[in-house]
Amino acid sequence: MEKSIQDPVHGLIKLEDWQISIIDTPQFQRLRRIKQLGFANLVYPGANHTRFEHSLGAMHLAKILAKKLEMGDEVVVSALLHDLSHPPFSHSCEGILKAHGFEHEAIEFSIKGELKDLLNDLGFNLKRIADIVSGKNASIVSGDIDVDRMDYLVRDSHYTGVAYGIFDISRLIDKIKFQNGVIVEEGGIKAAESLLISRFMMYPAVYYHHVCRIATKMFERAMERVIEAGLDPKRLFEIDDCEAMELIKSHDPEFYELLQNRKLFKRAVYVGRESVDLKEIQKLKEKRVEERIAENAGLDRKYVIVDIPPLEDVREFRVSVEVGGKIEKLENVSKLVRALKDSWIHNWRFGIYTKKEYVEKVRRSAVEILGIDATVQSSLF
């Protein structure tokens, strides 16, 4: 017996009984209460979609590919569960998890209770699922080009209204084959290039928009204070957005009010690689720099937030493509992809954020301590 869900991105998504039984578990239903794009709705009001519908979309694409490539249900269930361990507000807690030795792909922390019993009853190997999700086993779920990226780009584009995320999913899927990993046939190279262009454009416009970054870092710092007050970090695999905000309300009512009412910090420093020594900046510890700047400016440290984004690892550059019967890397056969690889670093921004009334004081302190050229403020976003 099958049921159907009407999805705004993919249309009708067909669900088999065993898939419905997984979706109906409390562990999976939690994803309804975790926003896909964290605080992006503060910039794009329509960005209120959740990890729940993204997981359904990834599963839908995995079913299409699994049928085409003659793969089994193990890949399909892995796609369905790939975001099960996302913490509140999605990537907004990733820094906290990493600081405590966890990754959001570690779904073993969330496969428990009713869901664990059900998966065992259905005959699925839980370790195999975890390995597929984490990328230990090359697959269409976690690889150089996978169903996760395919879904979130078009879905995030749809809900934000930013058209950069549109690319030809159907063509790409049609030209994918699996041979110890995903290989894109020659006729799908343009579609693969289009996916890369979409990611390149969506990062500065959506994922790393400065308002999203500021809200994310404010939430991260507030949650760190909650953990310092005694919250077990593993609880981040169990609670949802509302519960996280309630915890912040109890422990840090000031930051709760600021986030709830969009009274966000402002940019005291916001510069690209042209203004800093990128290698040296990447070595800095955000909290240590915050302490030094705040002390020099005579402020409480909580009012200074340093944001050193990681350098994005774009796995799609390394995807294998078949050209003239030979297997090559996409970046080696596409001038466009090589240009994108060279340009990716230009999206990176180093930020220092504070309350509006402290902006000039914090900027002067940062320039004095870090020796950066804060006069060249980025206007990209």
| DSSP summary character for residue 324 | T
The C-alpha atoms of residue 260 and residue 33 are separated, in whole angstroms, by 16
pLDDT digits (tens, 9 = 90+) for 3-19: 999 999 999 999 999 99
Q: What is the mean pLDDT of residues 20-38?
A: 97
pLDDT digits (tens, 9 = 90+) for 212-227: 999 999 999 999 999 9
pLDDT at 121: 97
Q: Is 104 a catalytic residue?
A: yes
**Secondary structure (3-state) at 143:** coil
The C-alpha atoms of residue 76 and residue 365 are separated, in whole angstroms, by 52
pLDDT at 376: 53
Q: pLDDT band at residue 375, thresholds of 50, 70 and 90? A: low
Active-site entry in 10, 104, 210, 251: 104
DSSP H or E run through 253: helix 253-260
Total residue length of the chain: 381
Q: Is 230 exposed, middle or buried (0-12, 13-18, 19+ CB in 10 A)?
A: exposed
Confidence check: pLDDT of 381 > 70: no
Which of 65-69, 95-99, 377-381 comes out lowest in average pLDDT?
Answer: 377-381
Residue-by-residue DSSP string for 110-123: T--HHHHHHHHHTT
Please, what is the average pLDDT of the chain? 92
Q: What is the mean pLDDT of residues 67-92?
A: 94
| Adjacent-strand bridge partners of 50 | 35
Taking a C-beta distance cutoff of 8 angstroms, is the pair 150, 195 a contact? yes
Copy the structure tokens of residue 224.
């760190």
pLDDT digits (tens, 9 = 90+) for 113-172: 999 999 999 999 999 999 999 888 778 998 888 999 999 999 999 999 999 988 999 999
Q: pLDDT band at residue 75, thresholds of 50, 70 and 90? A: very high
Q: What is the mean pLDDT of residues 91-111?
A: 82
pLDDT at 220: 96
- Give the contacts of 77 (CB within 8 A, at least 6 positions apart): 19, 22, 119, 124, 129
Of these ranges, 26-35, 159-168, 173-182, 324-333, the one predicted with the greatest mean pLDDT is 26-35
pLDDT at 249: 98
Confidence check: pLDDT of 380 > 70: no
Which of 73-87, 103-117, 172-186, 224-238 comes out lowest in average pLDDT?
Answer: 103-117
Q: pLDDT band at residue 104, thresholds of 50, 70 and 90? A: low
| Adjacent-strand bridge partners of 321 | 184, 328
Which of 230-234, 239-243, 254-258, 338-342 comes out lowest in average pLDDT?
Answer: 338-342
pLDDT at 165: 87
% of the chain surpassing 90 pLDDT? 77
CA 154 remoteness from chain centre: 14
